[in-house]
Structure 1
Amino acid sequence: MFIHAENEDAPCVVGALWIDPKLGVLAEIPYIGFGTDQFAVPSQWFRQEQAPNNLLFRSEDLQVSLFGCRITRTVQGSYLDIGRLRVQEAVFAERSGNIDDDLRVTTLVSHLDGLAKWSGLSSVKWDSEPIGVPPQRRGHRIRYTVQSNQGFDWMQGAARMRLKTHWRHDGKMPPGIHLTDDTVLESRFRQPRPVSDHLVEHRKFRDLMSLVLGTGARFFGHSIRDQRFGMRTLDGKIHGADYERLIAATTVVDHYRQTSDAGASDWPILAAKNLSPENLTWWARQYDNSRRFILPAASTLQRSNVFAEDKVVNASMSIEALGASIGPVGGERPTLAGTKKSTTTYFYRIIETVGIDASAIAGGSVELARALANTYNTIKHADRGEFPDGLHTIYAGRLSLMLIRMAIVQRLPGARAAVATYAASWPVRRIIEGMNADGVSVKSGRFCTSP
């Protein structure tokens, strides 16, 4: 049943609650529009299109606080009507206080795909020692210590961010001890803030992580902690607060999306241990002024099943934006259109900034920049005729994404040496060697395929 604050004496509102993989938490409420007091409350909601903003759902073994409810659909039948609500945020616990208050929390935790492997954090430590056993046999005593690892923290504006581990029993039956050991991203404000404020800060870290790994770091779960979701005793006192599951309509698609390759990324540009709190604070401070070159590339990495043309366009948008902000570099004069900068100029600046060796496929940075810019412009402008060759587009997308990832990460203080090492590593060579194997090279500023 659904509990609201309008009229405590009114009959209960009954209905169903479920999670839609694309829309989030939905509720369907049956009612009869006229002639019965039993359905007077939901009838009024849907006839006037004014449902309560917040509701509490209770069933035999489930309590869910629903925030930001809005009507999305009404169906009028011959005998029974049905109204549907979409919920902006749902917390799987009952909140104390006024049900009509907006949802504000002090702490939000996000589970990110690939974070545990990249960070190297774990709650479990173990050691072993030999023990005395009968002759001809070997024995060891293994000791496990399980304790949350507090990782490290940094400031992002008014939010204190932290990478830490959460462990819990996973509910499997004996024999054995079964634990789930997660690494999470946590934000905490001094005063309760809307969930959207927390997510703004979480996305800044998620975008950096995506660029470093080269794969989409998706949100596959959230939880919140706040005193209004505290643990109460019979005397009404609150004794701390536990972490409660949260589903937000803005991120629920990530929870059900096909698992990305973030957990399988063996070649990050930077190891998490090489990121200092100062690096992360700097990144967050620069983020808002850098969105034009961060978001196109990061969003491409975070989507699955992206067309090669989309990769070229989005990566090239980022390259144009960052190339314009870098300023002139040596040797760019051949890329200019008279005295004006061209798309080739921006590609050239990025190539020179990260310093990849493309001599195996191109006659120099200018030639490679022209080929990448030409592929981008041919895809973008309809008056250029057909789309470029598919194989050329695939490699242009791979090269462009690799270049912009390195160029953005290189901006972090102290990251230049790590990016230089990465530029000469296998992930970059793999693209070059793949082009050689497929007979793709650059001639006269264009991609071409040898027989």
Structure 2
Amino acid sequence: MAKRRLKVGDSILGMLVDGIDETPYVPATLTLTESGVRLDVSYIDVGSPNSSSGTRDWFDSRQVPTNLSLVSLDGDISLFGCESSGYRVNMVRGFGVGRITPEALVFNFRDGEHNDDLGVTELRSTIDGLGEWTGYTGVERTDSVNPSGRLDRVTIELAGVDGAEWDAGAARMKVRAEPHTDKLHIEDAIVLSSSFAQPQPVTEHLNEHRKVANLMSFIFGCPIFFRNHEIKDSRFTIRSLNGDIQDTPYVQLIHASTVKEYERPTPSQKQLLEPLLDITSVGPTGLQQWSDAYDTWGRFIHPASSALNRPGALIENIVVNTSMSFEAAGNLIGKKVGEELTYTKKGKPTTATYGYRCIAHTGLNFDALNVSQAGLARAISDNYNTIKHFDRGEFPDATETHVIGEISILISRVLALKIARPDIQLVGALERRLREIGEYLTRNRLSIRDDGTFSKPLGN
């Protein structure tokens, strides 16, 4: 039976087609690795009437056709954005093996002009935590009992269920339950989809999906990765033997920008247990607001989300990334009451000023840390600058940096949600986490002074 989906480690042997009439097909092996898709192409390296001299020229000149197709017993595959990534030649025996790296793979043959750029009308993604965030399900179970009260029958019904929808520029975004089964297992899949009125580059779709994935990283406070993509477009069809179109199905897409995420560790159930807000609380308006403001707030979003999406990131890197984000956010937030306490003697804003604006903007109660907002802003700034600047001497104490990193992540998560929902008031889990940080300071006999330095409490 033909494959319809590739997993990391899978290989397919087939014949490579370049879309040029009368060009001989050449054997090739396609492999999906943790780093992406690679295509190994065998070719004859000596001139003869039947030699694959055209294929040899691809690698000699490093000019591989941008679009290629692989015809195989496992199904047809379309490859886009192909580039040469090296070759080896056995000159004595007269053959070589070249390697091609495509930007995108679609597990189906595409109708129409072979050399057209890849554009699709709909793309959907499977993303970590989407089910936990939405609470959606497409699986309904009904138990029947017999007269004696014992379980007699279990009926499971699968049905697609539409969820939140919003506009993101020209794209229509939707979250939907799409359960499916292979007759042995049931997967209650929740997918994020984007659709355009006209075909758009895959990167346009993925940019909108990335916005949602990054928002979810802030909401859960942990790495959130893509696990699969599928596309649907009128040029990717299933045809009968006489050429009639039978179906326009969803087909697998693998893209170089996300494929490395597939094998990353999945978040634990504990990490996904307590999102700051569920999708209903963010709402379609909040999701659209996040999308519309994303580019404006990009200098805040990207460093902080990068820190969240790196499992095991050094605490110093977390402080540097979030402090970069605070500087950007502080400029966008604007002046806050009381920030003059963080100015220079000449009345100029400092790095601590931008941190102060972010702290004040969260609306959180920081009493559990037993320090003023200005003192906390100075502590974050001082730790950041000591890490960053060579002339500050040794790195800060690791315990102090850990505390600053934990506080900074918390602040950045709230700021991100304030972009989507400026009116939202966040308490509960956040202030509980601040109390835990306060208790950590006490256990380690630390406190934060108002000048931003750390000290042991008097008497210890």
TM-score normalised to the size of structure 1? Answer: 0.92
Equivalent in the alignment of 2:230: 223
1:11 to 2:19 alignment: no
Is 1:97 the counterpart of 2:75? The answer is no
> What is the rounded CA distance, in whole Å, between the counterparts of 2:253 and 2:214 in structure 1?
21
Partners in 2 of 1:76 and 1:391 — Cα distance?
Answer: 55
Q: Does 1:39 align with 2:39?
A: no
Match of 1:340 among 337, 348, 352: 348
Q: How is 1:122-161 mapped onto 2 (pairs within 5 angstroms)?
A: 122-128=137-143, 130-133=145-148, 138-139=150-151, 142-161=154-173
**2:4 aligned residue:** none
Q: 2:74 aligns with which of 24, 48, 61?
A: 61
1:305-320 mapped onto 2 (5 Å cutoff): 305-320=312-327
Structure 1 residues 249 and 171: alpha-carbon distance in aligned structure 2, compared to 1, 3 A threshold: farther
- Residue in 1 aligned with 2:175? 163
| TM-align CA RMSD | 2.0
What is the correspondence of 1:105-116 to structure 2 with a 5 Å cutoff? 105-116=120-131
Task: Indicate the SS of the match to 1:164.
Answer: strand
- Deviation string 1:405-427 (CA, Å, 9 cap, x unpaired) is 1122123336422x244442x33
User: Which residues in structure 2 correspond to 1:182-201 (within 5 Å)?
Assistant: 182-201=189-208
Check the 8 A contact 1:335/1:366 in 2, yes or no. yes
Measure, in 1, the Cα distance between the counterparts of 2:162 and 2:402: 42
CA contact under 8 A between 1:31 and 1:43: conserved in structure 2? Answer: yes
Task: Tell me whether 254-263 or 200-209 shows the greater mean CA deviation.
Answer: 254-263
Deviation readout 1:61-98 (Å, 9 max, x if unpaired): 23211111110112222323221100100011111222
Aligned to 1:175: none
Contact 1:154 1:162 in 2 (8 A): yes
Asked if 1:397 is matched to 2:412, the reply is: no
Q: 1:326 aligns with which of 314, 324, 333?
A: 333
Give the deviation of 1:430 after TM superposition: 2.6
Say if 1:114 and 1:262, in contact at 8 Å, map to a contact too. Answer: no
> Is the contact made by 1:52 and 1:69 (CA closer than 8 Å) also made in structure 2?
yes
In the other structure, the counterpart of 2:261 is: 254
Instruction: Quote the offset at 1:345 in angstroms.
Output: 1.3
- Is residue 277 of structure 1 aligned with residue 284 of structure 2? yes
Instruction: Structure 1: state its 5+ residue gaps.
Output: 173-177
Whether the 8 Å contact between 1:113 and 1:219 is mirrored in structure 2 is yes
Secondary structure at 1:388 match in 2: coil
Q: Partner of 1:233 in structure 2?
A: 240
- C-alpha contact 2:368 2:435 (8 A) present in aligned 1: no
- Going from structure 1 to structure 2, the CA distance change for 1:272 and 1:449 (only over 3 Å counts) comes to farther
Residue 331 of structure 1 deviates from its aligned partner by 1.9
- Measure the CA separation in 2 of the matches of 1:333 and 1:414: 24
Residue identity matched to 2:45:
G
Q: How many angstroms apart in 1 are the aligned matches of 2:56 and 2:32?
A: 24
Partner of 1:51: 64
Q: Distance in 2 between the 1:441 and 1:356 partners? A: 19
The alpha carbon displacement at 1:278 in A equals 1.4
TM-aligned CA distance change 1:422 to 1:325, over 3 Å? farther
Could you say which residue in structure 1 is the equivalent of 2:365? 357
Separation of aligned partners in 1, 2:311 and 2:371: 34
CA distance in 1, matches of 2:269, 2:317: 20
Q: Say if 2:224 and 2:267, in contact at 8 Å, map to a contact too.
A: yes
Stretches of structure 2 that go unaligned for 5 or more consecutive residues are 1-14
| Equivalent residue, structure 1, for 2:446 | 440
Per-residue Cα deviation, 1:3-51 (whole angstroms, up to 9, x for no partner): 121232x3321121101212x1111112232233232231121123222
Instruction: State the alpha-carbon separation in 1 of the partners of residues 404 and 289 from structure 2.
Output: 31
Contact 1:27 1:84 in 2 (8 A): yes
Q: Percent identity?
A: 36
Alpha-carbon distance change, 262 to 320 in structure 1, aligned in 2, over 3 angstroms: farther
CA contact (8 A) 1:152 1:162 kept: yes
Q: Would the aligned equivalents of 2:128 and 2:226 in 1 still touch at CA under 8 Å?
A: yes
Is the contact made by 2:369 and 2:435 (CA closer than 8 Å) also made in structure 1? no
Residue in 1 that maps onto 2:7: none
Which one of the candidate residues 388, 395, 399 is aligned to 1:380? 388
Q: What's the TM-score, normalizing by structure 2?
A: 0.90
For the Cα contact (< 8 Å) 1:361–1:440, is it kept in 2? Answer: no
> 8 Å contact 2:359–2:377 — kept in the other structure?
yes
> Given residue 88 of structure 2, which amino acid in structure 1 is its aligned partner?
V
Count of residue correspondences = 439
Residue 232 of structure 1 contacts residue 238 of structure 1 at CA under 8 Å; is this kept in 2?
A: yes
Letter in 1 for 2:255: A
Q: Do the aligned partners of residues 385 and 407 (structure 1) sit closer, same or farther apart at CA in structure 2, a change above 3 Å counting?
A: same
Task: Please tell me the residue identity of whatever aligns with 2:83.
Answer: R
Hey, what's the Cα distance between the residues in 2 that align with 1:170 and 1:347?
52
